[in-house]
């Protein structure tokens, strides 16, 4: 009796892997140095951080016994932690919101033709081109209570009578830290928004004009939807970077006065290297790592859905 | 997949890579060569002896630290052939973390210098060697007793005093003369002088910051001979005691009522804010350390000033002093303790300590050096300040002494934060100090 042709069984995973290896052996060998570096400089420190967070740690940062939640318990009892977390949230989201509010209109202006546009584009990049340390030190001197140029100009203009110690008051010190972070980061957002704006096909605006749409309608119904994905990606990246913003705050204020300008990442440093509490320091690092991983997953999924949508 | 048609095949390429990588890998895995034997100084027929290397990691005090200390190492090495001293100088901000990394990794240097606070920490985890037997009482008897006492924990000496810095009250003699003011002796004198001389922003009456200044007020509220420790015998914090409150009230009155301190004292730093203001002639009085006359002679030679003992709350009290001693320690991990001890004895001989004192402008740890006319040169205008500090050294209290070495930094932070809150007007003196004392005691499991 004649039978239909038997389906060819799909090759097993091991056979697939052997075929893949045979065809691309060289490529995989050339990947080995990169993989080793990845393992040594990224995987090992992360695994070490996680295991030490769950270990007892002495003042020499040596893990003595694994398998304890003592560090997390000690962290939970830290009275300062709620303040630090609030300040971190305010810093990260506050700076990003300000960056968006400033950068997007700036990008729209740079997207139009005007004399000196190229020069303006170059000047915008200066804060971004400066190393964070240089920016922070420069602004620290500008904000200096005795010798800062800000006080000098404000008093010359008659705006203040007595010099203000900007970095000595908790509120103004925090505002100064946010200002420096925003100032340093505006360039990236502006350039990215500008690239997004320049990627919008001009014919949709032509079509809108033919339909009699006003400038506001064009902006609301054409520009913003087209820029949605750029907004999301830039905002998420900036939030992640703001969470990790150690250099600006450390150089400007070191988290002072009285921890009022500390964020999680500077507090981790203080816990470990000033207070010698390495265990809670590792625990807080793990917590921050988890938060940033969540943001990264959100970013990756959004980016992936954006690419699939195309 | 047509690579084989185009010259070098993948198999050949891999063979070439393997041939290139193998000798490199072998070279990387080769153990370091053993120490070459030192050339003997006499007798061509003398057998070659193994040289022991002793590693010294030094924190720098200034840019000359490296060449000056290397000179000492070179002199030690050339004076004998059995031990070779090597030196690594690092900056203070990175020094502790570097030591921590090396000690944790089992690669501690043989000897290293550091803060007296580190000595307590390292001794508490058995990472510092007791030096008494290695150095001998005859050698140790040459040192200032207060310096040796500062390095002794539970009867064991864990370091040699290296940088002793008693303090004094620097005041502007020109401004005092203008107002007809006498040298300040008590808290009340300081407050009165500060009020009379305060003329911001041209001149601030008195320099205040939450770190060292608290100590000066604390010991001034007790007087010499009293218990100057901020700890009770059972480890409770004493900062909120009657004397503690009086000390901080004195400072707070100047900050908040008289307003005779520089702006934002809660955020001030001695080196970055107070000393520069004094050098710039914008401060009438400043309490700081024994290095200041050298700095003034270099950076502000026309500044007219004099030095007084730290003020006390009651004129009948004797004047106490404090220091933040640095030390040189030997790591417990050192495999060459006796050789390292030889290097220590050489580094701390009279000649080398005299040179160190002259180079750094510090007060000698050795009694004989402190009396040497090369140190107390009658022609040197700074000699009177040196004599002052040598005398003060005899009764200085070690601020690092604490029953809780593991939390030293955090306990200090609790206190400075309390002062900051007080001077920001958020809490009263009593409330702020009580809260800080409670926080400190709870940290140590005490109610």
CATH 3.40.190.10 domain extents, chain B: 52-165+325-398, 167-323+404-443
pLDDT at A20: 87
Whether chain A has a CB inside 8 Å of the CB on B97: the answer is yes
Model pLDDT, residue B391: 92
Record: contact A258-B125, CB cut-off 8 A: no
The per-residue pLDDT for A5 is 56
Is the pLDDT at A191 greater than 50? The verdict is: yes
CATH no., domain A94-309 = 1.10.3720.10
**Which pLDDT value is given to residue A1?**
44
Confidence band for A58, pLDDT divided at 50, 70 and 90: confident
Q: Which fold has domain B52-165+325-398?
A: D-Maltodextrin-Binding Protein; domain 2 (3.40.190)
Q: Is the CB of residue A25 less than 8 Å away from at least one CB of chain B?
A: yes
Whether residue B175 contacts residue B206, with contact meaning beta carbons closer than 8 Å, is answered with no
From chain B, the residues in CB contact with A273 under 8 A are: 96-97
Residue of higher predicted confidence among B446 and A295: B446
What DSSP element (H or E) covers A31? helix A25-38
Question: How far is B198 from chain A, CA to nearest CA, in Å?
Answer: 15
Q: Indicate whether this complex's ipTM tops 0.85.
A: no
The whole-model pTM stands at: 0.82
- pLDDT of amino acid B39: 39
Cβ-Cβ contacts under 8 Å for B2 (sequence gap 6 or more): none
pLDDT on residue B181: 97
Q: Which residues of B touch A169 (CB under 8 A)?
A: 264, 424
Percent of chain A residues past pLDDT 90, beyond the cut: 52
Interface size between A and B, measured as CB pairs under 8 A? 69
pLDDT along chain B (447 residues), means of 10: 50 63 54 41 51 94 89 95 94 87 92 92 92 95 92 94 93 97 97 96 94 97 94 96 97 97 92 93 96 91 97 96 94 96 97 91 90 91 93 89 89 95 96 96 90
- pLDDT in the model for residue A288: 93
B409 vs A: CB within 8 A: yes
- Which CATH code, of 3.40.190.10, 2.40.128.20, 3.20.20.60, 3.40.47.10, is assigned to B167-323+404-443? 3.40.190.10
- Best mutation target among B1, B25, B267 (most A Cβ atoms within 10 Å) is B267
Q: With bands split at pLDDT 50, 70 and 90, how would you rate the model's confidence at A91?
A: very high
B225: closest CA of chain A, how far (Å): 32
Domains in chain A: boundaries: 94-309
Across A8-29, average pLDDT: 82
Residues of A in contact with B418 (CB under 8 A): none
Please tell me the predicted confidence (pLDDT) of residue B22.
57
Amino acid B236: pLDDT: 96
Which residue in the set A165, A168, A275 is minimally distant from B410, CB to CB? A275
């Amino acid at each position: 009796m004649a039978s239909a042709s038997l389906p060819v069984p799909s090759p097993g995973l091991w056979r697939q892997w052997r075929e893949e290896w045979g065809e691309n052996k060289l490529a995989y060998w050339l990947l080995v140095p990169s993989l080793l570096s990845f393992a040594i400089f990224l995987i090992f420190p992360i695994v070490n951080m996680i295991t030490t967070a769950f270990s007892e740690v002495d003042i020499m940062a040596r893990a003595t016994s694994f398998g304890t939640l003592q560090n997390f318990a000690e962290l939970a009892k830290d009275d300062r932690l709620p303040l630090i977390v609030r300040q971190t949230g305010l810093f990260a989201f506050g700076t990003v919101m300000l960056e968006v509010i400033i950068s997007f209109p700036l990008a729209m202006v740079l997207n139009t033709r005007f004399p000196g546009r190229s020069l303006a584009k170059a000047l915008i990049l200066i804060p971004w081109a400066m190393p964070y340390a240089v920016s922070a030190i420069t602004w620290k001197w500008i904000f200096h209570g005795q010798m800062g140029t800000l006080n000098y100009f404000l008093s010359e203009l008659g705006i203040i009578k007595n010099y203000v110690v900007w970095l000595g008051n908790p509120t103004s010190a925090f505002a100064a830290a946010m200002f420096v972070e925003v100032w340093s980061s505006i360039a990236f957002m502006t350039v990215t928004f500008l690239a997004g704006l320049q990627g919008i096909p001009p014919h949709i605006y032509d079509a809108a004009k033919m339909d009699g749409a006003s400038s506001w309608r064009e902006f609301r119904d054409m520009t913003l939807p087209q820029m949605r994905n750029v907004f999301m990606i830039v905002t998420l990246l900036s939030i992640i970077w703001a969470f990790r913003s150690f250099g600006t705050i450390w150089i400007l204020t070191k988290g002072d006065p009285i921890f009022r300008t500390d964020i999680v990442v500077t507090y981790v440093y203080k816990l470990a290297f000033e207070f010698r509490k390495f265990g809670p320091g590792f625990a807080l690092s793990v917590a921050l790592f988890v938060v940033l991983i969540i943001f990264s997953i959100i970013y990756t999924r959004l980016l992936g859905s954006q690419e699939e949508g195309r | 997949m047509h690579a084989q048609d185009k010259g070098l095949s993948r198999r050949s390429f891999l063979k070439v890579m393997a041939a290139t990588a193998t000798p490199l890998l072998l070279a990387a895995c080769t153990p370091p060569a053993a120490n070459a034997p030192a050339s003997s100084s006499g007798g061509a027929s003398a057998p070659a002896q193994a040289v022991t290397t002793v590693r010294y990691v030094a924190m720098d005090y200034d840019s000359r630290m490296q060449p000056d200390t290397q000179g000492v190492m070179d002199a030690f090495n050339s004076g004998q052939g059995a031990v070779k001293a090597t030196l690594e100088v690092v900056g203070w901000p990175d020094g502790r973390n570097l030591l921590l990394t090396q000690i944790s990794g089992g690669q501690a240097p043989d000897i290293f210098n550091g803060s007296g606070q580190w000595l307590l920490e390292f001794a508490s985890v058995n990472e510092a060697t007791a030096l008494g037997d290695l150095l001998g009482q005859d050698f140790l008897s040459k040192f200032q007793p207060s310096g040796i006492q500062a390095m002794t924990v539970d009867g064991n000496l864990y370091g040699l005093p290296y940088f002793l810095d008693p303090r004094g009250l620097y005041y502007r003699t020109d401004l005092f003369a203008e107002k007809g003011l006498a040298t300040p002796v008590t808290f009340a004198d300081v407050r009165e002088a500060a009020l009379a001389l305060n003329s911001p922003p041209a001149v601030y009456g008195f320099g205040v910051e939450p770190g060292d200044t608290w100590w000066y007020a604390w010991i001034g509220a007790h007087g010499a001979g009293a218990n100057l420790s901020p700890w009770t015998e059972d480890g409770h914090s004493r900062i909120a005691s009657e004397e503690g409150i009086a000390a901080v009230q004195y400072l707070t009155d100047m900050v908040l009522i008289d307003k005779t301190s520089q702006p934002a004292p809660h955020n001030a730093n001695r080196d970055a804010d107070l000393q520069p203001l004094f050098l710039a002639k914008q401060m009438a009085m400043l309490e700081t350390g024994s290095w200041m006359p050298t700095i003034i002679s270099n950076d502000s030679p026309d500044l007219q000033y004099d030095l007084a003992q730290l003020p006390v709350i009651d004129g009948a009290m004797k004047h106490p002093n404090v220091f933040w001693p640095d030390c040189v320690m030997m790591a417990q991990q050192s495999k060459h303790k006796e050789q390292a001890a030889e290097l220590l004895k050489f580094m701390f001989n009279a000649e080398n300590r005299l040179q160190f004192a002259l180079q750094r402008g510090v007060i000698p740890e050795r009694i004989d050096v402190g009396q040497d006319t090369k140190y107390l040169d009658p022609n040197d205008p700074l000699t009177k300040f040196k004599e002052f500090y040598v005398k003060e050294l005899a009764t200085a209290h070690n601020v690092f002494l604490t029953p809780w070495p593991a939390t030293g930094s955090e306990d200090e932070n609790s206190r400075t934060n309390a002062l900051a809150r007080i001077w920001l007007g958020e809490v009263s003196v009593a409330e702020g100090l009580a809260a800080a004392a409670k926080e400190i005691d709870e940290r140590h499991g005490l109610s």
